[in-house]
Homo-oligomer: A and B are copies of this chain.
Amino acid sequence: MKKFEEKTIKTTQIFDGKVVRLQVDDVQLPNGNTSKRELIKHPGAVAIIPITKDNKIVLVEQYRKPLEKSIIEIPAGKLEPGEDPEKTAVRELEEETGYTTKSISKVTSFYTSPGFADELMHIYLTDDLEKLENPPALDEDEFVEILEVTLEEAKQLVREQRIHDAKTNYAILYLEMQELR
C-alpha cells in the first residue's frame, strides 16, 4: 500500500557499518511540501522460542551495549544476505544454546521500529529440541549465559524488566495465550 506516499527527491548516505546503514532522504510529502527522513537500513533478524521436553523456555542473557546493561532474551540474530530466515533461526539456536531442532514453526513477523528503521524480525517456535554434542562456536564478540525457565518464571522476569525487549515480551505473551487456550 502506498497511501500518503513520500517520494524520494534525494538520498544522502551518511554511514555504512557492519550492522546498520544510515541515510537521510529528502522527500516530497502528500501535500507537495518537502521534509527529511532519517532511515536506518538493517538486514533483518530472526528469533526463536525454544521449548524443552520438560516445558521450559530456553533464554539467553547478554550485554546490550545500546542499553548499557544485560537483558534476558529469546535466542536471536541478524540475517546474513540471502540466507533463509528458518536456517538463520536454527543456526542462532545452535550457537547460543547448544540445542538444535528438526522442526520449527513460524509465529509472526514484525517491523521493530517502523518510524526510523526497516528491521524486520521473524519469530519462530520449536518444541522439538535436541542437545548437540559439539555445538558451533558463538561469534568471537558474543558472550551469553543460558537460562531454562518455566513460563511463570519468565512472567516474573518480565515484571522485573530483566526481560524487556519487543520480541521476548511478545514471545512470553504468546506462550501465556497458548496456555489459556
A contacts, CB < 8 Å to B: 1-6, 14-15, 17-20, 22, 24-25, 27, 29-31, 33, 35-42, 45, 61-67, 69-71, 73, 76, 78, 108-119, 121, 140-141, 143-145, 158, 161-162, 164-170, 173-174, 176-177, 180-181
Cross-interface CB contact of A165 among B22, B114, B161, cutoff 8 Å:
B114
**Chain B min CB distance to A121 (Å):** 7
CB pair B64–A115 under 8 Å, yes or no, is yes
Majority-rule SS of A interface residues = mixed
**Chain B min CB distance to A12 (Å):** 10
Question: How far does the alpha carbon of A66 sit from the alpha carbon of B63 in the complex, in Å?
Answer: 27
Most chain B CB neighbours (cut-off 10 Å) among A35, A64, A143, A145: A64
CB pair A113–B112 under 8 Å, yes or no, is yes
Cβ–Cβ < 8 Å partners of A118 in chain B: 66-67
The 7 closest A-B pairs by CB, nearest first: A166-B166, A35-B141, A4-B63, A4-B143, A37-B65, A3-B70, A64-B114
Number of copies: 2
Find the B residue at minimum CB distance from A45: B115
Cβ–Cβ < 8 Å partners of A173 in chain B: 170, 173-174, 177
**Chain B min CB distance to A3 (Å):** 4
CB pair A1–B38 under 8 Å, yes or no, is no
Question: How far does the alpha carbon of A25 sit from the alpha carbon of B63 in the complex, in Å?
Answer: 14
Question: How far does the alpha carbon of A78 sit from the alpha carbon of B116 in the complex, in Å?
Answer: 11
Find the B residue at minimum CB distance from A119: B113
Find the B residue at minimum CB distance from A169: B110
CB pair A165–B19 under 8 Å, yes or no, is no
User: Given A38-B18, A169-B170, A180-B181: A63 and B5 within 8 A (CB)?
Assistant: yes
